[in-house]
């Protein structure tokens, strides 16, 4: 939403974040331009897809965010784009469709339904899984799937099975993001989770070996993730 009555200095105000993300850090001008200037909506909603026919054809690179319910995918998207347009909730399973957004005209971002526990009937969860699988296997402009994990718990069996499935498709590059890293009380626990996941990824084709450790709440680690996403968008 555009801020009214703040034309002078509005650009700087937007990117100081008013303390919302206290550990985001400073952004260079190129990244500010990439995310959007002067209060314009940087991420715009395109549409939701509940069926294959509703998946939009987009002529731009695309990245998708997947993970178990309640790992903070939607909040992470908001932190990446410095926006609040992506609907988030403490209720697991709120995202019940493939939700497509665009960052300017340079990149498409997809918020996928959480796999695992969700407040929905089994047949609906099965339908989400089938649609998501079709999406992974056939999406030609998909450049990377970011698999979001809760840093407190690391990769559970369901996460490992999901990443093995992505690897088996043969056409998908994926990368792990450990979100909620600020909620891990002991640094050694976070380091342990990191190493366990790194070892697991070593054996999976298609897996990017670098693991992001971030906090969608404080902004820690988000700036580096944004730089990577920007490089994906501008590589074509």
Give the 3-state secondary structure of residue 18. helix
CA 206 to chain centre: 18
Q: Residue 84 has what pLDDT?
A: 72
Percentage of residues of the chain with pLDDT beyond 90: 53
| Pairing mode of beta strands 62-67, 107-111 | parallel
For the chain, where are the alpha helices, taking DSSP H only? 10-16, 29-35, 73-81, 122-138, 157-169, 187-201, 222-234
Give the span between the Cα atoms of 128 and 135, in whole angstroms.
Answer: 10
The pLDDT tens digits for 54-65 are 999 999 999 999
- Record the pTM: 0.85
Give the span between the Cα atoms of 81 and 42, in whole angstroms.
Answer: 7
Give the span between the Cα atoms of 161 and 144, in whole angstroms.
Answer: 18
The pLDDT tens digits for 128-177 are 788 999 999 999 999 999 999 999 999 999 999 999 999 999 999 999 99
**Residue 88: band (very low, low, confident or very high) from pLDDT cuts 50, 70, 90:** low
């Amino acid at each position: 939403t555009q801020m009214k009555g703040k034309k002078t200095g509005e650009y700087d105000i937007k990117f100081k974040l008013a303390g919302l993300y206290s550990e985001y850090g400073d952004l260079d001008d190129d990244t500010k331009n990439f995310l959007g200037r002067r209060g314009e909506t940087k991420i715009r909603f395109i549409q939701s897809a509940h069926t294959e026919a509703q998946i939009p054809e987009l002529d731009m690179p695309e990245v998708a965010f997947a993970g178990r319910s309640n790992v903070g995918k939607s909040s992470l998207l908001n932190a990446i784009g410095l926006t609040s347009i992506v609907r988030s909730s403490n209720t697991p399973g709120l995202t019940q469709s493939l939700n497509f957004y665009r960052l300017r005209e340079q990149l498409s971002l997809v918020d996928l339904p959480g796999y695992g526990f969700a407040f929905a009937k089994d047949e609906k969860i099965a339908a989400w899984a089938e649609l998501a699988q079709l999406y992974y296997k056939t999406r030609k402009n998909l450049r990377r799937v970011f698999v979001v994990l809760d840093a407190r718990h690391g990769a559970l069996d369901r996460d490992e099975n999901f990443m093995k499935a992505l690897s088996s498709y043969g056409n998908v590059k994926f990368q792990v993001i450990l979100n909620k890293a600020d909620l891990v009380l002991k640094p050694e626990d976070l380091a342990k989770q990191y190493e366990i996941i790194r070892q697991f990824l070593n054996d999976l084709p298609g897996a990017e070996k670098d693991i992001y450790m971030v906090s969608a709440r404080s902004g820690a680690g988000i700036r580096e993730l944004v730089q990577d996403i920007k490089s994906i968008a501008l590589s074509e």
